[in-house]
Structure 1
Amino acid sequence: MSLIEQHDALLLDLDGTVWEGGRAIDGAVDFINSCGLPSVYVTNNASRAPEAVAEKLRGIGLKVETADVLTSAQAAVTLAGEHVPQGAKILVIGADSFRDLVTAAGYTVVASADDKPDAVLQGFDPSVDWAQLTEGALAIRQGAKYVASNLDSSLPTERGLAVGNGSLVAAIESATGVSPVSAGKPEPEMFGQAAKLVGAKRPLVVGDRLNTDIAGGNAAAMNTFHVLTGVSHEMELIEASKEYRPNFIGDSLSDMTRSAHELAPGAQGGFTARVDGHDVLVDNGDSTATSVQALRTVLEVVWSMGKAPRYIQPVSEKAESVIRGWS
């Protein structure tokens, strides 16, 4: 039975998983449209309204409705409801679409600490500046509850990793000594909300970042599938602590048509791996074996070790040829 057949919904990350800089990752659109499972697009990006995210996904060819999108801004508004009463005053640091979500939820949006807000909600937007951060800091010092959409320190762009919401949150933390509660990945609540949207009982969390997508899915007690199309690559997987380790690993989304046994860490492709002191030696390998098969073989061994190995040492010519490209 394939991995996809063992689950009833996909909870999909966007950047590095479905698209990169707005461009569809090769094969992603065809796979998602034809996989036969409902998909929820779970994104830590709080700068776009759900409607805008859905429209952009349709623009690359995906069959998506607005209800299929869950942003960290939406999750933050839901989380705020656990800390402040209906109709409370909320100062929003972030995009206008974030303010619209807060208003639609029945809260009063304010722009100044002088308005004595009950909470400060912070999400990423390129327009966030010193003045907004200062109003937030002043309000928090006055006792406002502090909620962040997410704590990603960086944001993938076509030019590389840019400053993310977590880095902007750090400025307020430094000024106030107060850390926010966070709604987005890797917190488990966001994945629970996503599963409820489609009534999923056996969802599969799919992403490219170990410290957000995979950690969050694991924390939510859901199966996790890691794709090597984005941020976290082979060496990060090898060095990953337990909470960041996915159940399954693939080159791309289409690998989910393979069996769960093949996608889980374990010896395959004719490769062998063994511990030698502080190193792991990788030997053999069939002529048609792939890099990801070598990786799964190695992961079974290194994840059973007390700590990450010093080096991954290829022994055979085939092992050398595939490990050479690991990063």
Structure 2
Amino acid sequence: MALQDNHDALLLDLDGTVWNGGVAIEHAVDAINGSGLAAMYVTNNASRSAGDVAQMLNAIGLNAAEQEVITSAQAALTMAESHLEHGDSVLVVGAASFKQLVSDAGYRVVASADDNPKVVLHGHNPETGWAQLSEAALAIQQGAIYLATNLDTTLPMERGFMVGNGSMVAAVTSATGVVPEAAGKPGPAMFLQAADRLGAKRPLAVGDRLDTDIAGGVAAGIPALHLLTGVSGPLALIEAPKEHRPTFIADDLRGLTQDAESLRPGTQGGFTARIDGDDIILGNGNDAATPTEALRTVLEVAWHMDTPPEYVRPNSEAAERATAQWW
């Protein structure tokens, strides 16, 4: 049975899963539209409003409404509300849309630590620099509560992996010693909220990053499909701790139409895998076997080891070809 036939909704990451820098990833749009499933877009990127994200999705051929987008900025504001009263000052390090979201909720958005903000909200904005980070650090040193939309260290873009919000947060943490609570993935809240909005009983979480997208799905108790289109590749999968392990692995979103069982870690493509000391020996393999089939074969063994293998050693021509394409 096709993977998509086992589920009633898709909870989709954006960057590295649906698009890179707003440019659709190959096969993504056709796969989502062709699935016939309700979709909710769950993104850690707080640099755009839900409405702006919906417009961008429509521009690449996906029919998405504002209420079908959940951003980490929305989640961070919800988290902040437990610390605030109406009219309190909030220092927002982030995009104009994030500041507007906070203002619309009834709080006074400030840009200086001298305004004694109760909370510092930190979201991704490509324009953030030393001055904004320094004001955040000063406010936190004066007692403001520090909350981040997400801790993603990188952001997949057309040219490669750019600096993400987590890297900016790390600068503030280095200056203050304060690690913020993060609202977005890998916490389960955004996934549970997304499933609730859709009334989904059998949702599927889909993403490209193990420590956020997949970990969030696992934390929420939702089956997760990992795509090899973005941040986390074969090595990360082989070394993944239990809480970061997806249910399914696919090259891209065309995996939705593939047999669900074939996407699980397990022996396939004629490959064999066995433990040899601290290593895994990958052998055999059909002439037409793919690198991803080899990966799933290795994962079944690797994920039963107490510690990740030191090396995966190919022991056939097919295994050599497959593993050469992992790196």
Q: TM-score range by the shorter chain?
A: over 0.9
Task: Name the structure 1 match of 2:305.
Answer: 305
Deviation at 1:60? 1.0
Q: How does 1:1-20 map to 2 (within 5 A)?
A: 1-20=1-20
TM-score for both structures, normalised by structure 2: 0.96
How far apart are the structure 2 equivalents of 1:154 and 1:229? 14
1:182-219, Cα deviation, whole Å (9 max, x unpaired):
01111222222222221222211101111111111111
1:61-81, Cα deviation, whole Å (9 max, x unpaired):
111111111111111111112
Aligned with 2:26: secondary structure? coil
How far apart are the structure 2 equivalents of 1:127 and 1:24? 24
Task: Name the structure 2 match of 1:115.
Answer: 115
Q: Runs of at least 4 residues of structure 1 off by over 6 A?
A: none
More moved, 155-164 vs 39-48: 155-164
Gaps of 5+ in 2: none
Q: Contact 2:35 / 2:256 at 8 angstroms: preserved in 1? A: no
Task: Name the structure 2 match of 1:273.
Answer: 273
Aligned with 1:81: secondary structure? helix
Task: Name the structure 2 match of 1:56.
Answer: 56
How far apart are the structure 2 equivalents of 1:91 and 1:15? 26
Task: Name the structure 2 match of 1:251.
Answer: 251
How far apart are the structure 2 equivalents of 1:161 and 1:252? 18
Amino acid paired to 1:191: F
Alignment pair present for 1:140 and 2:140: yes
Task: Name the structure 2 match of 1:289.
Answer: 289
TM-score for both structures, normalised by structure 1: 0.96
How far apart are the structure 2 equivalents of 1:241 and 1:223? 16
More moved, 85-94 vs 27-36: 85-94
1:252-299, Cα deviation, whole Å (9 max, x unpaired):
111122222111111112211111122211122223322211111110
Deviation at 1:52? 1.3
Percent sequence identity is 59
How far apart are the structure 1 equivalents of 2:164 and 2:229? 20
CA RMSD of aligned residues (A): 1.5
The alignment of Structure 1 onto Structure 2 pairs a total of residues equal to: 327
Q: Contact 2:31 / 2:256 at 8 angstroms: preserved in 1? A: no
How far apart are the structure 1 equivalents of 2:178 and 2:68? 34
How far apart are the structure 1 equivalents of 2:58 and 2:257? 23
Q: How does 1:71-150 map to 2 (within 5 A)?
A: 71-150=71-150
Aligned with 2:204: secondary structure? strand
More moved, 157-166 vs 5-14: 157-166
